[in-house]
Amino acid sequence: MTQLFLLAHGSPDPRSGRAIRHFATEIESRVNLPTVVAFLDHDLPDLATAAEVSQKKEGALVAPMLLSTAFHARFDLPKAMAQAGLTRALPPIGHPLELLTFLIQAAGSHVVVVAAGTTDQGARQIFKEAVEVAAVRSGSQAAHAFITGPGPHLYDQLVAAEDSGLGDYDFERAEPILNLVNATITSPSCQH
């Protein structure tokens, strides 16, 4: 039977790891497919350790839980697979339109959807277009932003919304939150 490895980016926020582990349990129970979780950064196990523990490398399939084909998919994924001795992978999951639409609807109007960021212009454009399409489908106004990379950044989008009369933001109070988001998303070992 095929072994599935869900390979997530990882986060210093423990809720992220719990969510991906819950997802793996759901996959395993619904389709009777042995599923193991591994991470690129911030959490354990890494893919090599997960593959070693599972002892089911032959025919194994890696499902990258990555939102783009940018840096992590192009560099970290192949490196992790080589270290684990694995050769088969699905493409990254991308930006599921149904999920983005649902999240924008749930958040209300005048939403800013924020990605970690990348310098890959193609990946940035795909994210921007996914947010635009989801906004139209949801009937809400939504903008896109990035924590790292060339922007637009969250602060830029909040200023633009305030300038166009869509919101009134207390930037002095928001600055510690923006700094926390930036510190949580980035780490010295994570190159977006």
Q: pLDDT digit of tens for each residue in the chain (192 aa)? A: 789 999 999 988 888 899 999 999 999 999 999 999 999 999 999 999 999 999 888 889 999 999 888 889 999 999 999 999 999 999 999 888 998 999 899 888 788 888 888 888 999 999 999 999 999 999 998 999 988 888 898 888 888 877 877 666 555 555 655 555 555 444 444 554
What is the structure's pLDDT at 190? Answer: 54
Distance in angstroms between the alpha carbons of the first and the last residue of the chain: 35
Backbone phi and psi for residue 186, each to the nearest 5 degrees, phi listed first: -105, 155
What is the structure's pLDDT at 23? Answer: 92
Candidates 189, 104, 178; CA nearest to 142 is 104
Q: What's the topology of domain 4-84?
A: Rossmann fold (3.40.50)
- Write out the residue limits of the CATH 3.40.50.1400 domain(s) in the chain: 4-84
